[in-house]
């Protein structure tokens, strides 16, 4: 074992030790009126820089903690703000649905669109209503703005809806004033006009002014008469044969929807739903 023999306490060490102990005992027995100023003096002189250092460290730590909290709050607010327009839009849509349901009376089923991430989702999508809710195949699917599509297949609690953008979609259409009759079909699958409809089979002698509202005609028995399909925005290229084709801007894009209404009961013959839906404000007026 290594022993530092030169480190034993000398008499001076002992004396110093006894002095320190005596001073400690004296400090212990100091009255308050002497002790407090002494402690205060030490804090304000010798300890001042260390206390300053400690205070700054605590401030730094608190600032860092607050920074994290502020960043967290900011992120939460940003996230909430991201969804705010969507929530507002959905709220307006739900209010419109409620208004539409009041005007429709009975014979419909409300359903939520179960959006999927696939890019083809607007062509056909699944809704949260099926046989159990009274949905039937080929039922019309509408929104407050107008026609969305039709039910292609029905499961127990879900249904597959073919939107107007699906290549196989067709609907018998008529101008809102009854002047023109045709077939509404998707315009195509390519180019910038992919999300437009066509009004096909218009008689060659008939001119359809831009802005004309096109609604379902009720022919064929699939769609009731009077559901808005869209607004004519112009002729679709050159005329072929004996008929004309017009481009129609759809009343609603499927991707914008979160809820739809499925008309599940047959309407009375000759019933017209034109007064049920909201006609777009930028329609009707024919440009000069």
Partner 1 sequence: MRRTDRYRYPFILTLLVLLQFTVRSHLGGDRVAPDFLLLALLLYTIRAEPGKSAAAGFMLGLLRDALTPASFGAGALAHTLVGFASSWAKAVFFAEHVFVKGCLFFAGTWVRNFIVLLVSGRLQGSQVAWELLVWSPLQGLTTAVVGVLVLWFFRGWLSPPRRAGVGVAT
45-74: contacts with partner 1 (CB under 8 A): 46-47, 50-51, 53-54, 57-58, 61
Q: Binding of partner 1 at residue 119 (CB under 8 A)?
A: no
8 Å CB contact between 251 and 273: no
**DSSP string covering 207-270, please?**
---TT-EEEE--TTSSS-BT-EEEEEEEE-SS-BTTEEEEEEEES--GGG-SEEEEE-SPPPTT
Counting residues that bind partner 1 (by CB under 8 A) gives 42
H/E stretch holding 124 reads strand 124-127
Instruction: Record the tokens describing residue 204, joined without a space.
Output: 């060659």
Q: Closest CB to partner 1 among 38 and 114?
A: 38
Alpha helix positions (H), 29-143: 32-44, 48-104
8 Å CB contact between 249 and 193: no
Q: Binding of partner 1 at residue 8 (CB under 8 A)?
A: yes
8 Å CB contact between 248 and 182: no
CB of 1 to partner 1, least distance (A): 5
CB of 69 to partner 1, least distance (A): 17
17-36: contacts with partner 1 (CB under 8 A): 17, 20-21, 23-30, 35-36
Q: What angle do CA 238, 242, 244 make, to 5 degrees?
A: 45
CB of 98 to partner 1, least distance (A): 56
Q: Closest CB to partner 1 among 8 and 242?
A: 8
CB of 28 to partner 1, least distance (A): 3
CB of 9 to partner 1, least distance (A): 4
Contacting residues toward partner 1, per CB under 8 A: 1-10, 12-17, 20-21, 23-30, 35-36, 38-40, 42-43, 46-47, 50-51, 53-54, 57-58, 61
């Amino acid at each position: 074992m290594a022993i530092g023999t030169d480190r034993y306490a000398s008499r001076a060490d002992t004396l110093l030790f006894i002095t320190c102990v005596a001073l400690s005992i004296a400090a212990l027995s100091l009255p308050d009126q002497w002790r407090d100023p002494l402690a205060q003096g030490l804090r304000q002189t010798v300890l001042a820089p260390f206390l300053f250092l400690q205070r700054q460290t605590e401030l730094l730590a608190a600032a860092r903690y607050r920074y994290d909290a502020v960043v967290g709050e900011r992120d939460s607010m940003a996230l909430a703000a991201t969804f705010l327009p969507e929530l507002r839009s959905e709220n307006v849509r739900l209010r419109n649905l409620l208004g539409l349901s009041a005007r429709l009376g009975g014979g419909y089923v409300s359903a939520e669109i179960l959006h999927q991430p696939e890019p083809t989702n607007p062509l056909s999508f699944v809704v949260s209503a099926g046989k159990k809710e009274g949905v039937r195949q080929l039922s019309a699917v509408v929104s407050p703005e107008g026609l969305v599509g039709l039910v292609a297949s029905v499961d127990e609690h879900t249904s597959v809806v073919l939107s107007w953008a699906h290549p196989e979609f067709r609907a018998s259409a008529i101008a809102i004033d009854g002047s023109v009759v045709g077939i509404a079909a998707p315009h195509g699958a390519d180019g910038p006009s992919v999300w437009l409809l066509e009004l096909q089979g218009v008689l060659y002698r008939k001119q359809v002014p831009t802005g004309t509202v096109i609604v379902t005609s009720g022919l064929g028995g699939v769609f009731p008469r009077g559901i808005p399909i869209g607004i004519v925005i112009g002729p679709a290229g050159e005329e072929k044969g004996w008929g004309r084709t017009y481009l129609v801007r759809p009343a609603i894009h499927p991707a914008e929807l979160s809820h739809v209404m499925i008309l599940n009961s047959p309407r009375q013959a000759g019933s017209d739903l034109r007064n049920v839906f909201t006609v777009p404000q930028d329609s009707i007026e024919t440009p000069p």
